């Protein structure tokens, strides 16, 4: 792997010059700008663990293409063991960052595209998989970060891609040339987009034959001509400067994953970087497999985050002198129970994995959807319990400026103190961490990341095998199967 640690990853980002805007102004260096730097540091942790003796087995894998050691985030899963190791890695990273570390979407996209490209080639005699392998070996050897780009703006959602008044509401092929294609459109909510090296573009949904120009998979460098990114706002992002490290909540790693709009304005993509072009019948399969892989992740990365949140609340109750109360113990027990239930879902759908015709392994899709459906409920309940135990100071806590003020600092230290011997600053820090982890941005991502709750319910019902269950009930009671 060319990029072996977090420092090398950051240096690699300084060498490329993507067009990134935040609050109407161009960001020249995402590794140093206060809005983006925390997210860069979170992603850098994925590189750090690969060099760490304790976690190297989880964070790295052996490439089935080259036999070389690679980052697990660039690996095509070759068995159930790979699926489970990825889940364990995600929990560790969640624990170490307390936020999103951004490389999961690219990994899931790589695995979905690999298996589907194989099946397109089998049916149509194309050479998409060979192209994809060449690109992937480059990604693996350089250890590049890939942002998986799936969600389109969608415009008028009562209309499909081909029926939109503005065709750019879905990424599409605007022109075909002998040596490649020209694309237009945008992708939204792109986690880690501004600090990735490559963009893997995928269709956002199953498509009809008349949407051939939208059935597109390709890879584009983040600094390709015509690519523009607009970095999204997050709760309390104006607190992220050196003077407000306490008030920022998570000063080292930021909140959630640092999402961006990525616009493509007549971007040329060479033929060797195109992995689907018009094969509409495979778009549903691609989305289905990507979504299952990504939904499986949430019971792991969010478990790591909730480990941190549970620890933060437990420490705060110690500071406040309430940790021994029976109702406090009961609520923390419930937080742990919900957390481990989520983790068991991720492990289960990985343990039940199966090989696609390409040899790449898939998670159990039913259990993956159940896992993500539980995230949309359990994470909110854990956050509710955390806010309950923390108390009203989450909403009324004075700022770091007040703590350090010569005029009122002594009042803050006195009236926000708790158990003797623990500095008021510790109570403020841990309270801000809880505020950041239970704020709107984090929970919105848990609700809508990898698809809205309704998307999982559709898949759960589709794979629920109701007819099989009816037959089981009839057999048990001796009712004729055809009656």
Tell me how far apart the alpha carbons of residues 235 and 247 are, in angstroms, rounded to a whole number: 12
Annotated active-site residue 259? The verdict is yes
C-beta separation of 249 from 432 below 8 A = yes
Instruction: Say whether 198 sits in a helix, a strand or coil.
Output: strand
Please pick, among 301, 310, 361, 365, the residue that the annotation labels catalytic.
301
Nearest to 281 by CA among 125, 124, 153, 148: 124
**Helix crossing, 283-320 with 104-124: angle to 10°?**
170
Tell me how far apart the alpha carbons of residues 474 and 483 are, in angstroms, rounded to a whole number: 9
Please pick, among 33, 75, 197, 294, the residue that the annotation labels catalytic.
294
Please pick, among 191, 204, 310, 441, the residue that the annotation labels catalytic.
191
Q: Pick left, alpha or beta for residue 385 (phi over 0 → left; psi -120 to 50 → alpha; otherwise beta).
A: alpha
Q: What is the dihedral of CA 464, 466, 468, 473, to 10 degrees?
A: 130
C-beta separation of 301 from 96 below 8 A = no
Please pick, among 104, 107, 218, 349, the residue that the annotation labels catalytic.
104
C-alpha neighbours within 13 Å on the C-beta side of residue 121: 15
Annotated active-site residue 107? The verdict is no
C-beta separation of 31 from 145 below 8 A = no
Annotated active-site residue 100? The verdict is yes
Annotated active-site residue 349? The verdict is no
Please pick, among 46, 60, 97, 100, the residue that the annotation labels catalytic.
100
Q: Which residue has the tokens 């021994």?
A: 324
Tell me how far apart the alpha carbons of residues 145 and 192 are, in angstroms, rounded to a whole number: 9
C-beta separation of 162 from 210 below 8 A = yes
Annotated active-site residue 317? The verdict is no
Q: Which residue has the tokens 């498509």?
A: 207
Annotated active-site residue 294? The verdict is yes
Annotated active-site residue 104? The verdict is yes
Please pick, among 9, 114, 214, 298, the residue that the annotation labels catalytic.
298
Annotated active-site residue 371? The verdict is no
Please pick, among 119, 244, 259, 279, the residue that the annotation labels catalytic.
259
Tell me how far apart the alpha carbons of residues 185 and 207 are, in angstroms, rounded to a whole number: 16
Q: Which residue has the tokens 């481990």?
A: 340
Q: Exposed (0-12), middle (13-18) or buried (19+): which is 327, by Cβ within 10 Å?
A: exposed
Tell me the H-state helices in 125-202. 128-142
Kindly give, in sequence order, each residue whose CB lies less than 8 Å from that of residue 283, ignoring residues fewer than 6 positions away. Answer: 203, 205, 206, 207, 215, 276
Q: Exposed (0-12), middle (13-18) or buried (19+): which is 82, by Cβ within 10 Å?
A: buried
C-beta separation of 38 from 252 below 8 A = yes
Active site residues: 100, 104, 191, 259, 294, 298, 301, 445
């Amino acid at each position: 792997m060319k990029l072996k640690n977090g420092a090398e990853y950051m240096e690699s980002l300084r060498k490329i010059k993507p067009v990134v805007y935040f609050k109407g102004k161009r960001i020249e260096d995402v590794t140093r700008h206060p809005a983006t730097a925390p997210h860069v540091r979170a992603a850098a942790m994925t590189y750090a663990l690969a060099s760490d003796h304790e976690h190297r087995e989880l964070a790295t894998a052996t490439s089935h293409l080259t036999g070389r050691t690679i980052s697990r985030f660039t690996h095509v899963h070759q068995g159930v063991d790979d699926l489970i190791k990825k889940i364990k890695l995600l929990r560790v990273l969640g624990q170490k960052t307390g936020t999103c570390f951004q490389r999961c979407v690219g990994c899931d996209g790589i695995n979905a595209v690999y298996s589907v490209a194989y099946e397109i080639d089998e049916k149509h005699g194309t050479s998409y998989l060979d192209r994809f392998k060449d690109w992937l070996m480059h990604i693996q050897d350089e250890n590049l970060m890939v942002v998986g780009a799936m969600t389109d703006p969608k415009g008028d959602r009562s209309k499909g891609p081909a029926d939109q008044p503005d065709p750019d509401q879905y990424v599409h092929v605007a022109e075909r040339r002998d040596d490649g294609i020209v694309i237009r459109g945008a992708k939204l909510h792109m986690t880690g987009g501004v600090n990735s090296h490559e963009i893997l573009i995928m269709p956002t949904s199953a498509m009809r034959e008349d949407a051939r120009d939208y059935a597109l998979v390709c890879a584009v460098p983040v600094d390709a001509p015509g690519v523009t990114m607009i970095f999204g706002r997050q709760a309390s992002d104006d607190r992220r400067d050196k003077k407000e490290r306490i008030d920022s909540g998570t000063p080292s790693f930021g909140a959630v994953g640092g999402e961006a709009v990525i616009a493509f304005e007549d971007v040329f993509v060479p033929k060797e970087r195109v992995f689907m072009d018009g094969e509409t019948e495979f778009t549903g399969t691609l989305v289905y497999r990507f979504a299952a892989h990504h939904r499986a992740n949430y019971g792991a990365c969010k478990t790591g985050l909730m480990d941190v949140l549970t620890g933060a609340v437990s420490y705060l109750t110690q500071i406040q002198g309430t940790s021994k109360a029976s109702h406090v113990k009961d609520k923390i027990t419930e937080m742990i129970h919900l957390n481990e239930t989520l983790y068991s879902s991720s492990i289960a759908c990985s343990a039940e994995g199966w090989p696609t015709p390409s040899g790449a392994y898939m998670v159990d899709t039913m259990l993956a959807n159940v896992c993500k459906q539980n995230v949309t409920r359990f994470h909110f309940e854990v956050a509710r319990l955390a806010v309950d135990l923390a108390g009203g100071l989450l909403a009324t806590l004075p700022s770091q400026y007040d703590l350090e003020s010569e005029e009122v600092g002594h009042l803050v230290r006195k009236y926000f103190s708790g158990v003797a011997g623990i500095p008021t600053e510790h109570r403020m820090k841990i309270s801000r961490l809880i505020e950041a982890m239970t704020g709107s941005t984090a929970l919105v991502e848990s609700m809508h990341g990898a698809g809205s709750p309704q998307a999982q319910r559709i898949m759960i019902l589709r794979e629920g095998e109701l007819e099989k269950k009816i037959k089981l009930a009839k057999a048990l009671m001796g009712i004729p199967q055809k009656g």
